[in-house]
């Protein structure tokens, strides 16, 4: 585990330099640069179609960039499959979470971890130990589940995200990528997930937090990359940008002002017509 104090301006764990990606004639990303450090949260903000998912798919080994470089520990990397990124310690939690609602929490916790320990048909899974590990790891993240045998489907949306985060941290993620983990949640549930993002950060993980909500990003973010139609609208360190500026840059100031005018009620006519 990385020293939690190693963050806060330490060397970059992950770095993007002028990354670009096209889908046919669509320029999904162009000239994107940012940094992810251990024990820090890099937020990627942008509206629908901004290129957020494309960016994380590059980091997760799903897509290869057409331009620019991705560096891990200062070394250029080229992932040809998600497995490569995972082996390098980059874990991604997608919106659908890849969890099975009817399955017990502890089974979901170990789901997908089997390939590294495969020993043919005679492999035995130590369920008592798996339950114990699940309970302990979730407790370390501040989640007190009473019963690891409980189906994942009985957990709240926020708790489910948290199980996915705890799982990634347990299996040794150095970089944890979260694709809009708070977007489908209410205010209270979103707060729970933000707390677990902070927990992962405090354990020394470099977190990439994708969201379109500046109010979710700002309290936990150490760095903010703003995307608009595949271009960078800025890559700021905490303190260099306010939540209002993030909102304004994302909305494209003028467009928002125009919309506000358009939505204003017309003044009532004096003659009542
Ligand atoms: N597999 C793909 N094939 C073609 N176009 C794509 C593909 N993935 C994304 N795009 C396009 O790239 C742009 C960025 O999309 P995406 O990264 O999903 O944005 P976001 O996640 O910010 O909503 C969009 O114009 C989208 O239509
Ligand atoms: Mg997306």
Ligand 1 lined by 49 (C-beta under 6 Å): yes
**Predicted confidence (pLDDT) per residue in 72-97, tens digit:** 999 999 999 999 999 999 999 887 66
Residue pair 206/15 in contact by the 8 Å Cβ criterion: no
Q: How far is the CA of 49 from the centre of ligand 1 (A)?
A: 6
Task: Look up the CATH number of the domain holding residue 31.
Answer: 3.40.50.300
- Tell me if 226 is assigned to some domain: yes
What's the number of domains the chain is made of? 1
Q: What is the mean pLDDT of residues 122-131?
A: 74
- Tell me if 166 is assigned to some domain: no
Task: Name which residue sits closest to atom 18 of ligand 1, judged by CA.
Answer: 53
- Rg (C-alpha) for the chain, rounded Å, is 21
The predicted structure's pLDDT at residue 6: 43
Give the mutation target among 29, 47, 51, 57 for probing the ligand 1 site: most ligand atoms within 8 A of CB.
51
Ligand nearest to the CA of 25: 1
- Average pLDDT along the chain: 85
Top-confidence residue, 37 or 267: 37
In which domain, by residue range, is 27 found?
A: 11-103+172-263
pTM: 0.83
- Tell me if 214 is assigned to some domain: yes
Ligand 1 lined by 32 (C-beta under 6 Å): no
């Amino acid at each position: 585990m990385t020293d939690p104090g190693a963050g806060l301006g330490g060397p970059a764990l992950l770095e993007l330099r002028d990354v670009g990606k096209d889908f046919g004639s669509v320029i999904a990303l162009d000239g994107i640069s940012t940094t992810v450090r251990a024990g820090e949260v890099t937020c990627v903000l942008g509206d629908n179609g901004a290129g957020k998912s494309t960016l994380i798919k590059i980091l997760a080994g799903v897509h290869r960039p057409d331009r620019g470089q991705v560096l891990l520990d200062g070394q250029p990397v080229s992932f040809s499959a998600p497995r490569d990124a995972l082996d390098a310690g980059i874990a991604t939690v997608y919106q659908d979470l890849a969890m099975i609602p009817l399955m017990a929490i502890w089974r979901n916790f170990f789901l997908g971890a089997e390939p590294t320990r495969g020993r043919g048909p005679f492999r035995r899974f130590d369920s008592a130990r798996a339950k114990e590990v699940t309970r302990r790891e979730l407790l370390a993240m501040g989640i007190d589940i009473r019963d690891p045998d409980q189906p994942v489907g009985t957990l709240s949306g926020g708790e489910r995200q948290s199980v996915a985060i705890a799982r990634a941290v347990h299996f040794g993620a150095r970089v944890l990528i979260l694709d809009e983990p708070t977007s489908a949640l209410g205010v209270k549930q979103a707060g729970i997930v933000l707390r677990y993002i902070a927990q992962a950060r405090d354990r020394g993980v470099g977190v990439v937090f994708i969201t379109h909500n500046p109010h979710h990003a700002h309290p936990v973010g150490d760095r903010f990359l703003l995307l608009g139609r595949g271009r960078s609208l800025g890559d700021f360190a905490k303190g260099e940008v306010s939540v209002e500026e993030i909102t304004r840059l994302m909305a494209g100031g003028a467009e928002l002002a125009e919309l506000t005018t358009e939505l204003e009620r017309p003044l009532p006519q004096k003659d009542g017509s």
